[in-house]
Amino acid sequence: MSDAIRHEVGIPVPQQKQRHEDETGQLISYVLPVYNEAEGIKHFHAELTSTVAGRPEFDYEFVYVNDGSADGSLRILRDIAKNDPRVRVVDFARNFGHQIAITAGLDLATGDAVIVMDTDLQDPPKVSLEMIDAWLAGAEVVQARRRTRRDTPFKRFTAHAYYRLLRSCAEVDIPVDTGDFRLLDKRAADELRSFRERSRFIRGMVASMGFEQQELLFDRDERVAGETKYPMRKMLRLAADGVTGFSTVPLKLITRMGFASLALALAGIIYSVTLRLFFPEITVSGWTMLMVVMLFLGGLQMLSLGVIGSYIGRIYHEVQQRPLYIVRDVIRHDQA
């Protein structure tokens, strides 16, 4: 394990034995973030292990990251690790968020290929086998693109609009309709581990790396149990991280709005002066226009400050240089 990983984990984590050239099979790592999934985690693990059993030519490891769950998920994960030697459980000291949980799993995964997927079975395990086939055919990054998704009409519409807006303004080509369900070749995973910014948007980071990328269409299922762990507040935060992390378009828009407001102000000045010179008897009526201009400029200034503040906030978090996450324990088969 690298010094950077030890620093992020914050506790001594035993180093896994290195794979030797004479060992048969390649190692496939699954990175599986968990947050309050006690109702469905056993079902998920049974489904995943049943699926990978159809490809016995590979070795597997399952890295579950307990992201500060408060519903008994850790107890269930301990039982799973106790009964399956391929399982490791990373237990966070508190909730750090989905993107950070994926990062921790990537830091500890040792496979020749790493598959990131959620544990609510909306990402079908059988699709991960198709990713492996694409990887064997030469793809270094395989991302699952949602052909259909079983969500509310509002969520489908907003997700559709957001991905296309992000792609139009981002400085890298971020694929539309893709989440974090993807496979990374060992080389790509190693490169992604070097990305240590705090406000993380992993699908954008992966897109920015390049490599030989391939899309795989799939139909996203409904959750097996529980409720979504991405309410509107978290969705908006992730969306903001995607825009501010990979685009300076909001800052450029401020400049354009500044020029537009300047043009309107000049037009207002000309209008006011004209009324004063040629129609002095009705100049009092200009109060309405004065209020409109003042409110418009005030709103524009507050919007501009908000956008600038978002970027300054990102800088503030980066210069603090705090660890991305803190691990309470790493649970293995012989420790569960």
45 vs 211 pLDDT, higher one: 45
Q: Could you give the dihedral angle defined by the CA atoms of residues 104, 105, 108 and 109, in that order, rounded to the nearest 10 degrees?
A: -150
Residue 122's SS3 state is coil
Residues 19, 29 contacting (CB under 8 angstroms): no
Task: Say which amino acid occupies 151.
Answer: D
Q: Could you give the dihedral angle defined by the CA atoms of residues 193, 159, 151 and 227, in that order, rounded to the nearest 10 degrees?
A: 50
Residues 71, 85 contacting (CB under 8 angstroms): no
- Burial class (CB within 10 angstroms; exposed 0-12, middle 13-18, buried 19+) of 103: buried
Model confidence pLDDT, tens digit, residues 117-151 = 988 888 889 999 999 999 998 899 998 887 776 66
232-246 vs 153-169: helix crossing angle, rounded to 10: 10
Model confidence pLDDT, tens digit, residues 48-66 = 999 999 999 999 999 999 9
177 vs 217 pLDDT, higher one: 217
Residues 126, 48 contacting (CB under 8 angstroms): no
Give the position of tokens 């100049």.
283
Position 11 scores a pLDDT of 41
Model confidence pLDDT, tens digit, residues 256-269 = 676 676 666 667 66
**143, β-bridge pairs:** 182, 215
Model confidence pLDDT, tens digit, residues 77-127 = 999 999 999 999 999 988 888 888 999 999 999 999 999 998 888 888 999
> Across the chain, what does the average pLDDT equal?
76
The model's confidence at residue 152, banded by pLDDT at 50, 70 and 90, is low
Distance in angstroms (rounded) separating the CA atoms of residues 303 and 127: 43
Model confidence pLDDT, tens digit, residues 192-208 = 888 888 777 787 788 87
Position 33 scores a pLDDT of 93
DSSP-assigned letters across all residues of 132-196: HHHHHTT-SEEEEEEEEE-S-HHHHHHHHHHHHHHHHH-SS-PPTTEEEEEEEEHHHHHHHHT--
Phi-psi domain of 272 (left: phi exceeds 0; alpha: psi -120 through 50; beta: other): alpha
Residues 71, 36 contacting (CB under 8 angstroms): yes
In the chain, the percentage of residues whose pLDDT exceeds 90 is: 25
Distance in angstroms (rounded) separating the CA atoms of residues 148 and 156: 9
pTM: 0.66
249-278 vs 287-320: helix crossing angle, rounded to 10: 160
The model's confidence at residue 30, banded by pLDDT at 50, 70 and 90, is very high
Task: Say which amino acid occupies 98.
Answer: H
pLDDT at 10 over 60: no
